[in-house]
Structure 1
Amino acid sequence: MSIAFYDAAAVAARLDYRGCIAAVRAAMAALSSAGTAQPLRQIIPLGEGRAFATMPGGLDGPLGFGAKLISVFAEPGEPGRSRHQGLVVAFDPVSGAVVCAADAETVTAIRTACATAAATDALARPDARTLAIFGTGLQAEHHLRAMPLVRSFERIILWGRDAAKATALAARLELELDLPIAPTSDGEAAASAADVICTVTGSPTPVIEGAWVRPGTHVNLVGSSHLGPVEADVALVAAARYIADYRPGALAQGAELAAARAAGLVGDDHVVAEIGEVFAALKPGRRNAAEITLYKSLGHVVQDLAAARYLHQRGPGEAGA
């Protein structure tokens, strides 16, 4: 059996942001419309700063089924940063054969940013013009590339605790994107100026507070993918219209929601919709211009499978853009 394999360089070249946004959007709509129970990710601790995770799943249809297998290891000397190394393996829904395998780290980096962009397109105000990114790692870089594809941002603010890293990333991406990017270490100023906020940090404690966020803002909480680390305080969670990528995942593994529940501010019904339900017009997203909307991204394997199948289906020589 011949299995196509896409290493990190091939994924980066073939998995373009616009195409991935569309693929992820369709996959999440299919996930929510199917009503098929999906297993939650399984995380096996391997010691301090190390874990192994498995994410199986699939849908009846052309997306097929498969799994992501990754190690999550902290980067030495980089507090709060980790690498997600492994494979995404996609299977054919008709024959059951393996379709392809792809480098999971690069797929994850791109599809996560594209999922955020798709959610932002559905939930942010049409006139959103200021974007604030909280974080200076790999996900910050990919979000800076993906987000301007869904809104005409005129101003981008990049927050980081390390001013030197924020300044360096802002300077590099400003040239690439031809957009003004202002680095800052003032979280309150960044959040209060933004129409759209993305948190992509490894912080164990909140980097944004509800008191900083203006009415009408859309917030994407992306950095925390398991119980424990929280990127937003309970006040923001309670004040926002909370939309999950996958409801069972958010209820079981959404750290910010768990903290707000523990504080007695919200219940399970605070998860008003899955983003796929919004995409499929099964439930409303933003209901008015003053509402604070919140998208919680934990990540779902159908996003990885959609990205892998999309890059596999692109014709030879089609480079990403």
Structure 2
Amino acid sequence: MKAVLPLIVDEQTIRDALPAIDVKAALTAMFRALAAEQAVQPPQTLTLLPNDAGDFITYLGALGDGKAFGAKLSPYLVTGGKPIVTAWTALMSMETGHPLMLCDAALLTTERTAATTAVAVDALARGEARRLAVIGTGAVGLAHLRYAAPLRQWASIRVFSPGLSDSEAKCAAVRAVDARAQICATIEACVEDADVVMLCTSSGQPVLMRESLTKPALVTSISTNVANAHEISPAWVPEMDVYCDYRKTTPASAGEMKLAAQHGWSAQSIKGDLPALLSGTCGKPAYERHAFFRSIGLGLEDIAIAHALYRHLTEPSRAQSLQ
């Protein structure tokens, strides 16, 4: 059998292609496929490297409609200096078994993380929600702002991260994403009267305290891959209506959910996940108390966006231009 070489896609090619890809639509279709059992999402796996040299997380997924199986491979390598963190997504055909594409997943990870939160905000936030707060202004935070901005007719968009108000360059980067963004000097000022609070940090410890919120709100969290990382206190979780990206896998990986067991919380208390929300098989928050949405990053999210990229790059007009 003749060897089939995969398409190798670097960061610049992805950056050029992203404006033409509807990431939120691709993820919405994927979660609906998951609800219809037309996609498969195994748990992510963590491999600890010998001699405390770091770890390797593997995110798997199979997308039935796209006839694609894939894996995102993400090492965390301890070097003695700054750790090396990379991510690559491999895509294979479920029809031929041949490799289709190997792509740098750094930009795609940022996009799918923010777009997944946007899908959740669209599904969970009150229709009349008008006050948005964003905590964290790194690449992921700015992507969250970009994806969330068109979801509601926001009367205010407030943003906070440590040192942001003292850096005109960072403030300019935020306003370049959305000119309506107001830079806040404290978290408390940022989240006052907020309807939606998006936590977009790499913190392993809580960054938002329950007393900072002045009314029932939707809080979204992505956190980081540090063991048991959490952006809110685990003790707060039992007091919230909890949703997640995928209830079969998220509770085993999300730090605050694992630690919330010490406070009497159980994964059985989860109100719903994105497949259930998008298929209409679970209820939405009544906002008699805070709602919490937790995303850990699914292999299927990586597969869905990689497949959308692959289709874009292999369209006849695009393929000809690459020759």
| Length-normalised TM-score, structure 2 | 0.86
**Aligned counterpart, 1:5:** 8
Q: Looking at both structures, which has the greater relative contact order when contacts are Cα pairs under 8 Å and sequence separation is at least 6? A: 1
- 1:36 CA drift (Å): 6.9
Amino acid at match of 2:48: P
* Cα 1:297/1:162, change in 2 over 3 Å: same
Q: Which moved more, 1:192-201 or 1:104-113?
A: 192-201
Indicate yes or no: 2:206 matched with 1:206: yes
Query: Which consecutive unaligned segments of at least 5 residues does structure 2 have?
Result: none
- 1:239 CA drift (Å): 2.2
**Aligned counterpart, 1:187:** 187
Indicate yes or no: 2:62 matched with 1:58: yes
3-state SS of the aligned residue for 1:52? strand
Amino acid at match of 1:92: S
Amino acid at match of 1:13: D
**Aligned counterpart, 1:303:** 301
| Separation in 2, partners of 1:317, 1:155 | 40
Q: Which moved more, 1:157-166 or 1:171-180?
A: 157-166
- 1:317 CA drift (Å): 5.8
Amino acid at match of 2:219: V
Indicate yes or no: 2:28 matched with 1:25: yes
**Aligned counterpart, 2:277:** 278
Amino acid at match of 1:310: A
Query: Which consecutive unaligned segments of at least 5 residues does structure 1 have?
Result: none
* Cα 1:213/1:238, change in 2 over 3 Å: farther
Amino acid at match of 2:59: M
Amino acid at match of 2:74: I
**Aligned counterpart, 1:219:** 219
> What do you get for the CA RMSD once the two structures are aligned?
2.8
3-state SS of the aligned residue for 1:224? coil
* Cα 1:121/1:17, change in 2 over 3 Å: farther
| Separation in 1, partners of 2:258, 2:47 | 21
* Cα 1:262/1:104, change in 2 over 3 Å: same
* Cα 1:231/1:289, change in 2 over 3 Å: closer
Indicate yes or no: 2:63 matched with 1:70: no
Following superposition of structure 1 onto structure 2, how do residues 224-243 of structure 1 map, counting pairs within 5 Å?
224-225=224-225, 227-243=227-243
Deviations 1:36-59 (A, max 9, x none): 763321222347794321112214
- 1:291 CA drift (Å): 4.6
**Aligned counterpart, 2:134:** 133
Instruction: Please identify the structure whose Cα radius of gyration is greater.
Output: 2
3-state SS of the aligned residue for 1:34? coil
**Aligned counterpart, 1:255:** 255
Aligned residue pairs, count: 312
